[in-house]
């Protein structure tokens, strides 16, 4: 055999394999990403805990007939930096799993006063778990739930702290509704801590922009934070809270008003996915300067409640029926939201989803 030909053949093979590896590095296989979704009690009388091992393609139920979930509602689910999954809900229900849901355990809690209903759960980079709930309640644990520090934030005047995010181990943002004492009026409230929850301050937005109740808060990096809520209103900061920019969606909702933003997932500081009332998924690629309505799929008359992403292509959204009878659905996209597909349906609302990144 010609040695020159053999040399060029070897070089060609090396180039081919190098190119293949490079392409694989640029587009890693994402199909094994884990996801959990949670919701209300269905016809079995137990709150829904749903698990996917393939980024939302297929779903199976977990924690079936777990006594802690009987007649309960799970409103939030989160995967912490150590890979533990946590779910929180009504009547101070808190559960966790360390083995991808093969075994779920109830987290023991004690309260000096009435049990709060938990609304949201999240984690700091150091795996400190944060939970928010009714009555201005927040709590956190630095040791996987063995010991908890409980607080009541007076800024909320007994209202529901619907969202909490840990920008870093010290910088915490909690949002929700402040009971004003004027009938059933509820204004929005934003509280921040820069010392891991030891002390808190209230953020007062310009132009009385807190007149709508806030539903949630998300962050990307340490500077970019978005607070979102009723009737399409949101406010965001690009400088770690030094200044806030108020904005709202222009899409029409019920009664001619924009729909509530119930969930948000920040892919980057510029790219955000939002889940809204009236079955809307929306995407912005420029920090909210413009939005694209990506539509939805499946049964209508739904409020989309939660949304999370694995990457810029793959995301999952959850839905809850707007009226009777109760129902829920899970949607998935694998093409950046160009199409959304129904992957699961239930006879109970599904409120929250968390995806492995």
Q: Delimit the domains of the chain by residue range.
A: 34-355
What is the C-alpha to C-alpha distance for residues 127 and 81, in angstroms, rounded to an integer? 6
Report pTM. Answer: 0.90
> Which residues of the chain carry a pLDDT beneath 50?
1-28
C-alpha to C-alpha distance for 163 and 121, rounded to whole angstroms: 8
Sequence-distant (≥ 6) Cβ neighbours of residue 293 within 8 angstroms: 251, 280, 281, 282
Q: Which DSSP letter does residue 73 get?
A: B
pLDDT at 285: 97
pLDDT for 184: 61
| Residues whose CB falls within 8 Å of the CB of residue 317, separated by 6 or more in sequence, listed in order | 263, 273, 275, 281, 296, 304, 306, 307, 330, 331, 332, 340, 353
pLDDT at position 25: 36
d(CA 148, CA 342): 38
Q: Is 282 helix (H, G, I), strand (E, B) or coil?
A: strand
Using DSSP's 3-state secondary structure scheme, residue 209 falls into helix
Task: Report whether 48 contacts 326 (CB < 8 A).
Answer: no
The H or E element that residue 178 is part of is strand 172-179
Question: Parallel, antiparallel, or unpaired for β 224-229 and 233-237?
Answer: antiparallel
* Residue that has been written with the tokens 């994402």 in this structure: 30
Residue 98 main-chain phi, psi, to 5 deg: -115, 5
For the record, the structure tokens of 282 come out as 């929306």
Residue 64, classed as helix, strand or coil, is coil
CB 261 within 8 A of CB 304: no
Give the three-class secondary structure for 153. Answer: coil
Kindly state which CATH superfamily the domain 34-355 is placed in. Answer: YVTN repeat-like/Quinoprotein amine dehydrogenase (2.130.10.10)
Supply the pLDDT for residue 255.
67
Q: Tell me how far the alpha carbon of residue 303 is from its chain's centroid.
A: 15
pLDDT, residue 142, reads: 96
Distance spanning both ends of the chain, measured CA to CA: 51
Centroid of chain to Cα 228? 12
The C-alpha atoms of residue 95 and residue 228 are separated, in whole angstroms, by 26
Residue-level pLDDT at 256:
73
- Cross-strand partners of 309: 315
């Amino acid at each position: 055999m010609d040695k020159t030909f053999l040399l060029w053949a070897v070089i060609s093979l090396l180039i081919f394999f190098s190119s293949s590896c490079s392409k694989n590095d640029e587009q890693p296989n994402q199909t094994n990403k884990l996801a959990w979704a949670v919701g209300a009690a269905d016809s079995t009388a137990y709150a829904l805990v749903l698990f996917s091992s393939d980024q939302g393609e297929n779903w199976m139920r977990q924690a079936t007939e777990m006594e802690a979930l009987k007649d309960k509602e799970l409103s939030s689910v989160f995967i912490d930096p150590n890979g533990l999954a946590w779910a929180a809900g009504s009547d101070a229900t808190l559960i966790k799993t360390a083995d991808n849901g093969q075994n779920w355990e109830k987290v023991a809690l004690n309260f000096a006063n009435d049990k709060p209903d938990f609304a949201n759960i999240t984690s700091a980079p150091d795996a400190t778990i944060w939970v928010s709930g009714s009555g201005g309640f927040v709590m956190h644990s630095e040791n996987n739930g063995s010991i908890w520090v409980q607080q009541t934030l007076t800024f909320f005047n007994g209202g529901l702290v619907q969202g909490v995010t840990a920008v870093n181990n010290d910088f915490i943002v909690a949002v929700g509704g402040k009971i004003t004492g004027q009938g059933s009026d509820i204004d929005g409230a934003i509280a921040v801590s820069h010392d891991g929850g030891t002390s808190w301050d209230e953020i007062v937005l310009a132009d009385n922009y807190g007149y709508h109740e806030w539903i949630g808060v998300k962050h990307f990096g340490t500077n970019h934070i978005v607070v979102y809520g009723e009737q399409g209103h949101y406010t965001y900061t690009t400088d770690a809270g030094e200044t806030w920019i108020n904005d709202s969606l222009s899409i029409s909702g019920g009664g001619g008003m924009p729909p509530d933003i119930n969930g948000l997932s920040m892919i980057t500081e510029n790219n955000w996915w939002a889940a809204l009332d009236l079955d809307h998924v929306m995407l912005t690629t420029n920090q909210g300067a413009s939005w694209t309505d990506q539509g939805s799929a499946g049964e209508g008359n739904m409020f989309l409640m939660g949304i999370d992403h694995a990457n810029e292509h793959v995301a999952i959204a959850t839905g809850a029926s707007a009226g009777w009878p109760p129902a829920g659905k899970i949607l998935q996209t694998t093409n950046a939201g160009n199409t959304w597909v129904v992957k699961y349906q239930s006879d109970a609302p599904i409120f929250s989803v968390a995806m492995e990144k």
